[in-house]
A and B are shown apart, each in its own frame.
Chain A
Amino acid sequence: MSRVLVGVKRVIDYAVKIRVKPDQSGVVTDGVKHSMNPFCEIAVEEAVKLKEKKFIKEVVAVSCGPSQVTETIRTALAMGCDRGIHVEVSGKDYEAMGPLQISKIFAALAKKEEASLVILGKQAIDDDCNQTGQMTAALLDWPQGTFASEVTIDGETVKVVREIDGGLETIKISMPAVLTADLRLNTPRYATLPNIMKAKKKKIANMKPADLGVDMVSRVEVLRVDEPPTRLAGVKVETVDDLVAKLKANGTI
């Protein structure tokens, strides 16, 4: 029986209105509500479900970042993960942290923990990269089942139904493997207070990227962050002829 690693990312809450910093170096995060990335919630739920169905023995929640990410790990523990790992990254390293560094960390942890599965959200709602799962699989040379909307374990293989343009694709991959969760994979459970209290007894191990032999140097530099262009006001027309005239005038027809 096996162990599953689940990645959880602390992001600005999906319902918060994002504001760009005046110096255009990024978005305002101070004092802003943060929570677990929605796709990571789905990943955690899937891992916990697999454990409840007795396909796997242990679920380990992993997050990288400053001390605040332990809140996110605690939520994962409250949802049913057995223990957590906090990979401490802060300051400039944290600001520059991206899928490449994360996937290196996860690859090292997957080997260290002898995981059979690494389950991640398909993408984070703050950077929309959709790269970490794929990079992790490549670094480990493991098969990947991305955009998973259904996961079935059958012995040493996994059947994954993937959401792709134009429909669904079913693949069979051997374990160990990396999976990334899509929206319809499952319905994540809400972490209620009694579960949070119980989770306080679960352990969160602490380590640094250097302990895993990972260098955090970024190859990417953010030059500028802009607000999206403001939507132009709509124009009202009186008749269909006016509409056609306007569409012809601006070259649409």
Chain B
Amino acid sequence: MANPLRREVRQLYKNLLYLGREYPQGADYFRERLNSAFVKNKYVTDPKEIRKLVDCGEDVIKELGTLYYLKEYSAMKKRFYEEELLGLLNIGRPTD
């Protein structure tokens, strides 16, 4: 049945679009790639195929979440933990 899958596909698109607003290369860049990825699979009818593609999309959502987290984490690390980073490189420490 294409109908329940249709709803899932639409929801996946909306979820990805929402996440893509923060994409580093720009929301428009993301939206273009998102659209072409969905349009490319427009004529797929086999429900198993669709399921696989949807799961693929879910993975992308997880990857985006991780990407955004890593970006924020490394920015915070650089900003607030500079001493630690310098310590690791043995720079800026007074010698006894």
Contact = CB atoms under 8 A, between A and B. Distances in A.
Interface of A: 14-15, 38, 125, 183, 187-190, 192-194, 196
Contacts of A188: 69
A188, A189, A193 interface centre (most CB from chain B within 10 Å) = A193
B39 to A, nearest CB: 21
B47 interface: no
Interface string B3-18: 0000000010011001
Q: Closest 6 interchain pairs by CB?
A: A190-B65, A193-B18, A193-B15, A38-B76, A183-B76, A14-B75
B29 interface: no
Interface of B: 11, 14-15, 18-19, 61, 64-65, 68-69, 71-73, 75-77, 79-81
A239 B76 CA distance: 37
B18 A192 contact: yes
A190 B18 CA distance: 12
Interface residues of chain B: helix, strand, loop or mixed (majority) = helix
B11, B75, B80 interface centre (most CB from chain A within 10 Å) = B80
A196 B11 CA distance: 13
Nearest to A189: B65
Contacts of A190: 19, 64-65, 68-69
Contacts of B14: 193
A94 B76 CA distance: 26
A38 B75 CA distance: 10
Given A14-B75, A190-B19, A190-B69, 10 more contacts: A15-B71, A15-B75, A38-B76, A187-B69, A187-B73, A192-B18, A193-B15, A193-B18, A193-B19, A194-B15
A183 B69 contact: no
Contact of B73 (A15, A183, A192, A193): A183
Contacts of B15: 192-194
Contacts of B72: 14, 38
Contact of B81 (A14, A125, A183): A183
Given A183-B80, A183-B81, A187-B69, A192 B75 contact: no
Contacts of A187: 69, 73
Contacts of B77: 183
Nearest to B19: A192
A192 B61 contact: yes
Contacts of A189: 65
Contacts of B75: 14-15
Contacts of B76: 14, 38, 125, 183
A34 to B, nearest CB: 13
Contacts of B79: 125
A115 B73 CA distance: 30
11 contacts: A14-B76, A38-B72, A183-B73, A187-B73, A190-B65, A190-B69, A192-B18, A192-B19, A193-B15, A193-B19, A196-B18
